[in-house]
Structure 1
Amino acid sequence: MVLRNEDGSLVFAAYKYIFNCNDALESDIHALMQGMALAIQHSDKPMVIQPDSSCALATILDDTLSRLAYGHLDAEIKALLVDREFVPLKISRDQNRVAH
């Protein structure tokens, strides 16, 4: 997770090891949720979320994952969306080299 100011300067970067992860989608959703939670703690400004996973981005935009195995993560992300304005923006994996 990388948090930047509106001018692009780094506020902080963090990572977390996920001990039990079934697949890449689950890790992407976890990263999205943890990043949003950290951003809420460290800034009061609207957030632009830039995941490189279309499926993870779908958790923000609609209810496609609410009935799947990751529905509990989807519910936590929806709860975070109530507290702050988040602007979702899909980026390519090349643009997200810092996370891989």
Structure 2
Amino acid sequence: MVLRRENGSTIFAAYRYIFHCIDALEAEIHAIMQGMALAIQHSDCPVIVQSDSSNALAILSSDNLSRLHLVYGHLAAEIKAYLVVRKFVPLKVSRYQNRVAH
């Protein structure tokens, strides 16, 4: 997770090992959720959430009960709670643009 200012300079970066993860999508959803929590703590501005996973970003923008909400419901619920506290804008980026995470 990298939190940046509007000009692109880094505020901070963090990573964490997830011990029990079903798949890469769950890892991406965890990273988004943890990044949102850190952004709430360290910034009072609206936050753009960038990810190369359109499935993970779908949790931020959809209200219906899709497969994602059924499988990752506990994570989706926590993300929805963060959406009440701050404005988060999902933005799909290419895998190349997200190379810092890979």
Distance (Å, rounded) in 2 between the aligned partners of 1:7 and 1:50: 15
Aligned residue in 2 for 1:73: 75
With structure 2 as the length reference, what TM-score do the two structures score? 0.94
Code of the aligned partner of 1:76 = E
Aligned residue in 2 for 1:51: 51
CA shift digits 1:52-83 (9 cap, x unpaired): 101000110113222x2211100000000000
CA shift digits 1:14-40 (9 cap, x unpaired): 000000001011001000100000011
Identity %: 70
Per the TM alignment, residue 48 of structure 1 is displaced from its structure 2 partner at its CA by: 0.5
Aligned residue in 2 for 1:30: 30
With structure 1 as the length reference, what TM-score do the two structures score? 0.96
Distance (Å, rounded) in 2 between the aligned partners of 1:88 and 1:23: 21
Distance (Å, rounded) in 1 between the aligned partners of 2:95 and 2:21: 20
The unaligned stretches of length 5 or more in structure 2 are: none
Aligned residue in 2 for 1:5: 5
The unaligned stretches of length 5 or more in structure 1 are: none
Q: Among 78, 89, 92, which residue is 1:90 paired with? A: 92
